């Protein structure tokens, strides 16, 4: 063989070896990353090649699949899409997925390794999809959704014993089926939702934070009882009316000028929602002690997954005394999600023990066999049993005789706290109306609820937690307890 031919042969052999090495590297080293790349169209083709598994509420699927034409052979469908959108999220051929549709994707599309038999594990063939069984109570979900109606707001209900999320509602909502495909109509539906100023795709129950207003007074009261600042909800506090915010010339007054707020007990101060009492109480405690109590209830947790991640609720630091006083009534820079405020009342209802909220009961292989199950888990001890009992007693007074009478349920123990939170530049925005509560039917069934109404048709002067949010909470509690 002459030299030029030999060189050409060696060069060709090197090219072949390089190609083999590159193919091996791509298939072995980078195979998984390329296969899982969101821009890989084969992922979408594989995912929608067969019907997806279902998200289930109380034994009934609220999702489905429908055959379509084209390379993406199946399209996601939804039953009562607007009602359950804050739970299911969406699965769209064009726009991806979120919430349970995204977080439980491997189970729903059959790619989860736990669904595969030995042969499928070797061939990487997709198995039959599994299902996701939620903790949602359909009666509670419907009651919250219908109660909010055309109002902008959110509602959350939790089983204090287990942490099961029984209702998770955000309004206005949207129908995930409207853009589940890839047609022009789907694109138009998506664009309309993106331009909607009311942000129907924002999950207000989990991802929106609000000033909690007077609902936060429960946290301050818990801190005062735990600290020993007051040993009972029935001893007078040292609270002037009006209260001069420290270091300022600003006198804080109460919404009701005739309320008996001067030196009021914690019970009376919650009953009449006395701002002066809780502002001074927060200053007397100091921001560190209030912050410590808030953190025990979930404030400051940036990794609260249910499994969808909730926005972090915040009790601020670095405040002066006047700002600390404002924080005591849930104003200044205090913010909370509806989920967070439901956790506050859940801890009080459960004797001071806070259970970690969760939305998924279990995932299954599409049959009776569970792939995994969410066991109740204690988030932490938020307060002593004694403190929780005292707060429940005071909260019952709020409902029986105070600002929360709209939440009464005959024959059922109900405790609550109203809240009206100012916001906007110079408090110019329509106040947010809160109601947080618990109910106990005396038969072993309890529920903790938080409702916030962000916007309604009510005049500014008529906005109140008891008037707007209280009846919604009552409907949810009644539906849950049957």
Please tell me the predicted confidence (pLDDT) of residue 482: 78
What contacts 362, CB < 8 A, 6 or more positions away? 133, 370, 371, 372, 373, 374
214 catalytic? Reply is yes
Token pair of 165, please? 């999320």
What contacts 218, CB < 8 A, 6 or more positions away? 270, 344, 345, 348, 391, 395, 417, 436
Q: Does the residue 363 lie in any domain?
A: yes
What contacts 125, CB < 8 A, 6 or more positions away? 116, 119
DSSP state of 250: P
The DSSP line for 151-174 is SEEEEEEE-TTT-BEEEEEEES--
Q: Does the residue 385 lie in any domain?
A: yes
Please tell me the predicted confidence (pLDDT) of residue 369: 87
Total tally of structural domains belonging to the chain: 2
pLDDT tens, N- to C-terminus, the chain (482 residues): 566 666 667 677 777 777 776 767 666 666 555 455 555 455 656 667 678 999 999 999 999 999 887 666 889 999 999 999 999 999 999 999 999 999 999 999 998 888 866 555 555 666 789 999 999 999 999 999 999 999 999 999 999 999 999 999 999 999 999 999 989 999 999 999 999 999 999 999 999 999 999 999 999 999 999 999 999 999 999 999 999 999 999 999 998 999 999 999 999 999 999 999 999 999 999 999 999 999 999 999 999 999 999 999 999 999 999 999 999 999 999 999 999 999 999 999 999 999 999 999 999 997 778 899 999 999 999 999 999 999 999 999 999 999 999 999 999 999 999 998 875 554 556 789 999 999 999 999 999 999 999 975 443 333 455 788 999 999 999 999 97
DSSP three-state, residue 232: coil
Query: How many C-beta atoms surround the C-beta of residue 91 within 10 A?
Result: 29
Residue linked to tokens 């030995």 = 118
Residue linked to tokens 């030299």 = 3
Q: Does the residue 337 lie in any domain?
A: yes
**Which domain does 284 fall in, by range?**
213-481
Q: Does the residue 409 lie in any domain?
A: yes
Judge whether 106 and 95 are in contact, CB under 8 Å: no
Judge whether 180 and 94 are in contact, CB under 8 Å: no
Q: Does the residue 182 lie in any domain?
A: no
Please tell me the predicted confidence (pLDDT) of residue 459: 39
Please tell me the predicted confidence (pLDDT) of residue 73: 80
Sign of CA pseudo-dihedral 196, 96, 84, 157: negative
Residue linked to tokens 């969410």 = 374
Describe the crossing of helices 81-88 and 138-148 by its angle, rounded to 10 degrees: 110
Please tell me the predicted confidence (pLDDT) of residue 374: 96
Judge whether 362 and 374 are in contact, CB under 8 Å: yes
The whole-angstrom separation of Cα 252 and Cα 244 is 6
DSSP state of 467: I
pTM score over 0.85 = yes
What is the domain-level CATH number for residue 295?
Answer: 3.40.710.10
Q: Does the residue 272 lie in any domain?
A: yes
Residue linked to tokens 């109601």 = 435
Q: What b/e string do you get for 13-42 counting C-beta neighbours within 10 Å, with b at 16 or more?
A: eeeeeeeeeeeeeeeeeeeeeeeeeeeeee
The DSSP line for 360-415 is EEEEESSSS-EEEE----EEEE-S-HHHHHHHHHHHHHHHHHSTTGGG--TTSEEE
Q: Does the residue 248 lie in any domain?
A: yes
The whole-angstrom separation of Cα 290 and Cα 148 is 32
Is the preceding peptide bond at 307 cis, omega within 30 degrees of 0?
yes
The whole-angstrom separation of Cα 271 and Cα 265 is 10
Q: Does the residue 42 lie in any domain?
A: no
User: Would you call 240 exposed, middle or buried from its count of C-beta atoms within 10 A (0-12, 13-18, 19+)?
Assistant: middle
Please tell me the predicted confidence (pLDDT) of residue 71: 67
Judge whether 466 and 405 are in contact, CB under 8 Å: yes
Q: Write down the catalytic residue from 111, 214, 273, 313.
A: 214
């Amino acid at each position: 063989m002459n030299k030029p031919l030999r060189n050409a042969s060696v060069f060709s052999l090197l090219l072949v070896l390089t190609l083999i090495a590159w193919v091996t590297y791509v298939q072995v080293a980078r195979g998984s990353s390329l296969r899982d790349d969101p821009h890989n169209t084969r992922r979408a083709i594989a995912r929608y090649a067969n019907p997806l598994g279902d998200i289930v509420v109380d034994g009934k699927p609220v999702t489905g699949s429908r055959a379509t034409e084209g390379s993406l052979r199946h399209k996601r469908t939804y039953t009562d899409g607007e009602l359950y959108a804050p739970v299911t999220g969406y699965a769209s051929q064009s726009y991806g997925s979120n919430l349970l549709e995204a977080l439980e994707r491997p189970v729903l599309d059959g790619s989860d390794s736990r669904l595969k038999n030995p042969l499928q594990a070797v061939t990487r063939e997709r198995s039959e999809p599994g299902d996701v069984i939620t903790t949602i109570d359909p009666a509670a979900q419907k009651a919250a959704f219908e109660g909010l109606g055309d109002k902008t707001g959110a509602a959350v209900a939790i089983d204090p014993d287990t942490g099961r999320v029984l209702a998770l509602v955000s309004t206005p909502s949207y129908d995930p089926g409207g853009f589940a495909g890839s047609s022009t109509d789907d694109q138009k539906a998506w664009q309309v939702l993106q331009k909607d100023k009311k942000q129907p795709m924002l999950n207000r129950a989990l991802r929106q934070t609000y000033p909690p207003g007077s609902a936060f007074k429960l946290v301050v009261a818990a801190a005062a009882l735990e600290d020993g600042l007051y040993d009972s909800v029935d001893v007078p506090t040292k609270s002037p009316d009006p209260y001069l915010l420290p270091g300022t010339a600003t006198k804080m007054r109460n919404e009701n000028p005739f309320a008996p707020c001067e030196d009021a007990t914690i019970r009376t101060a919650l009953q009449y929602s006395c701002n002066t009492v809780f502002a001074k109480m927060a200053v007397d405690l100091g921001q560190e002690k209030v912050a410590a109590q808030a953190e025990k209830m979930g404030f400051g947790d940036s990794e609260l997954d249910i499994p969808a991640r909730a926005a972090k609720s915040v009790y601020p630091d670095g405040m002066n005394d006047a700002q600390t006083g404002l924080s005591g009534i849930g104003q200044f820079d205090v913010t909370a999600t509806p989920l967070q405020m439901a956790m506050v009342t859940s801890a009080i209802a459960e004797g001071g023990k806070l259970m970690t909220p969760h939305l998924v009961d279990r995932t299954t292989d599409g049959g009776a066999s569970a792939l995994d199950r969410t066991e109740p888990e204690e988030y932490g001890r938020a307060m002593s049993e004694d403190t929780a009992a005292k707060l429940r007693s005071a909260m019952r007074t709020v409902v029986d005789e105070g600002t929360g009478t709209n939440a009464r349920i005959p024959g059922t123990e109900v405790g609550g706290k109203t809240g009206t939170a100012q916001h906007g530049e110079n408090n110019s925005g329509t106040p947010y109306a809160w109601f947080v509560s618990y109910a106990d039917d005396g038969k072993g069934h309890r529920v903790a609820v938080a409702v916030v109404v962000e916007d309604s048709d009510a005049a500014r002067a008529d906005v109140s937690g008891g008037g707007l949010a209280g009846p919604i909470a009552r409907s949810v509690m009644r539906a849950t307890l049957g």
